[in-house]
A and B are shown apart, each in its own frame.
Chain A
Amino acid sequence: MFFHIVLERNMQLHPRHFGRNLRENLVAKLMKDVEGTCSGQHGFVVAITGIENIGKGLIRDGTGFVSFPVKYQCVVFRPFKGEILEAVVTMVNKMGFFAEAGPVQIFVSNHLIPDDMEFQSGDMPNYTTSDGSVKIQKDSEVRLKIIGTRVDATEIFCIGTIKDDFLGVINDPASV
């Protein structure tokens, strides 16, 4: 799920960046430092959408660096237990399949794939129903439910299931 929130960060800036472009430099550095990172609390920072406020700079003794408290608005993404997500399958094997939704890595074990779908090995491994009507393979888009999440500094891990109504393949690349 996405959230629009305000976060704060102390930015250390080298004196060479001071001058007319101070603000631009500060914002550019902020984007570089923050976008694409994760925190356990907020999730994945997708994009900075605005700067709320830049506080007074504080000169650090000795180094000449100045630290500015910056309040910024950003869009974060964080999956929750019970949430329904749409994801793209990245790998299929005997154990189940892996899928990705943006920065989120999801594993759906074969315990949580409907029993009527069976694993087929080969150069394009897949899970297929006995009548062949539904097939999950690499690049399939699936709708799944999150049953566990863990957010690390750089990655988000999720456990998913498709063993429930309205879950499973929503678009099969092989049939297009």
Chain B
Amino acid sequence: MSLAESPVYSSSSDDFAGLLERELESGSSESSPVEEDKEADDNGSDVESESRIKRRKVENAENLEETSGSTSQGFSEQKSEVSAVEDMCAHPGSFGDMCFLCGQRLNEQSGVTFGYIHKGLRLNNDEIDRLRNTDIKKSLHRKKLYLVLDLDHTLLNSTQLNHMTAEEEYLMSPTDSLPDVLKGSLFRLDLMRMMTKLRPFIRTFLKEASEMFEMYVYTMGDRAYALEMAKLLDPNKEYFGDRVISRDDGTLKNQKGLDIVLGQESAVLILDDTENAWAKHKDNLILMERYHFFRSSCHQFGFTCESLSEMKTDESEPEGALANVLDLLKRIHKIFFNELGGNLIDRDVRQVLKTVRKEVLKGCKVMFSRIIPSKVPADNHHLWKMAEQLGAICSTEVDSSVTHVVALDAGTEKSRWAVKQKKFLVHPGWVEAANYMWRKQPEEKFPVTETKSKTQTQ
């Protein structure tokens, strides 16, 4: 049954319906208003626009006088305006498959979906560029860059309730009987059957980072999880707004991409513990040391030791990863805005990141002892590359300019040479820690033992 077939009844007990009818009838005597309805989407004849205005009267029955006069003229003008736009519209994007500039229904889907902002929203690449270009100017003017934040193991750690061990049972007790350090950072989410621990220093981190960056959340978790975590991190909705991206929003499977971030790539930094997720954006990435609070999280990454939760302790607040990375972000922000020359718009935060990284082990000459298998080219090894990115010079040859020997066993020939020549002998963890901390670490914290027993990374 269509609208046209259904007559409007003249007698109705309902007040509202009666009002509608009276208004409709008062205007159109020649035809049933509902019949005209069918034509309403076609081009506008005089009769049609007339009947439209009558209907509008119904809608705004209280302020009839106001609207009817002024809109009747406006309508026919607007109509021609719209069709002119339609002809030359570039269709910059769509909402509900309609162009959001001309209103035309678009048949083929093009562009990138921005479902995290609103269901049904898509933007074409040119429009994304336009938005980024407008936005970067404003952001730079306000001395802000963009920061994309991963959730799991970067800002927080979550576990399923049913994966918790007996030693973790104490975490299930009511909030007021929890140890003080856990209050306000441990959350039990019964609906999701989960428990979440925020990383120490998170509140200060977010507050201070938000002054330097426009921040996004970007997680491989699903949408519901992402929103729930955003609520814990940003209860007053000060930091993220609608910028919460989940795996449901990404354009590539198992990858994160900056294509759905409305920030110029040259001004984006990323904090994530998973390097592989950002294959196309490694230059924007600051790799985070993983935060494992719960036993199930340690277990998932192959650690068999007791977890922080089981030991009833936590990462250090003043010296932990977030305090450290906040310090790094401040340094980068300062260099970007205050120390680089040239136009702000031409500056590239990826270049700053590279430069700062090169300072970390500057002046060190590192030699590896039985770390790199002899069948692979030495400069292909990840530790070699890491040390070089940190500004060290790497070497395979014993010579007096070497400052550090990296080894797992103090008994190797090169290790003994290092000791004899009073060079630093360090565990590979020394390079890795420098990479995470963005500072050269005290060598004595990374000793190498004689036996090939398991050494632990700090």
Contact = CB atoms under 8 A, between A and B. Distances in A.
A76 B241 CA distance: 34
Interface string A73-90: 101000011111000000
A38 to B, nearest CB: 12
B421 to A, nearest CB: 57
B7 A125 contact: no
A95 B131 contact: yes
Given A75-B20, A121-B138, A2 B101 contact: no
Interface string B16-48: 110011000000000000100100110010000
B324 interface: no
B101 A111 contact: yes
Contacts of B102: 147-148
A30 interface: no
A8 B14 contact: no
A18 B242 CA distance: 51
A91 interface: yes
Contacts of A75: 16-17, 20
A52 B17 CA distance: 14
A52 B92 CA distance: 48
Interface string B77-113: 0110010000000001101111111111100000000
B6 interface: yes
A107 B100 CA distance: 7
Interface in B279-335: none
Interface residues of B, number: 65
B3 A150 contact: no
Contact of B6 (A7, A83, A93, A149): A7
Contacts of B21: 4
Contacts of B59: 1-2, 83
A155 B96 CA distance: 10
B12 interface: yes
Contacts, number: 148
A150 B96 contact: yes
A41 interface: yes
B56 A84 contact: yes
A156 to B, nearest CB: 9
A23 B398 CA distance: 97
A111 B124 CA distance: 14
Contact of B8 (A5, A80, A95, A105): A5
Nearest to B243: A93
A101 B82 CA distance: 23
Given A164-B74, A164-B78, A6 B6 contact: yes
B58 interface: yes
12 contacts: A3-B37, A6-B9, A49-B12, A73-B14, A80-B40, A84-B56, A93-B242, A94-B135, A109-B93, A150-B98, A155-B96, A159-B99
Interface of A: 1-8, 41-42, 49-50, 52, 73, 75, 80-84, 91, 93-96, 98, 105, 107, 109, 111-112, 119, 121, 123, 125, 145-150, 152, 155, 157-159, 164-166
Interface of B: 1-3, 6-9, 12-14, 16-17, 20-21, 34, 37, 40-41, 44, 49, 52, 55-56, 58-59, 67, 70-71, 74-75, 78-79, 82, 92-93, 95-105, 114, 117-121, 123, 131, 134-135, 138, 214, 236-239, 241-242, 262
Which 3 pairs of residues, A with B, have the shortest CB-CB distance? A157-B96, A148-B103, A147-B103
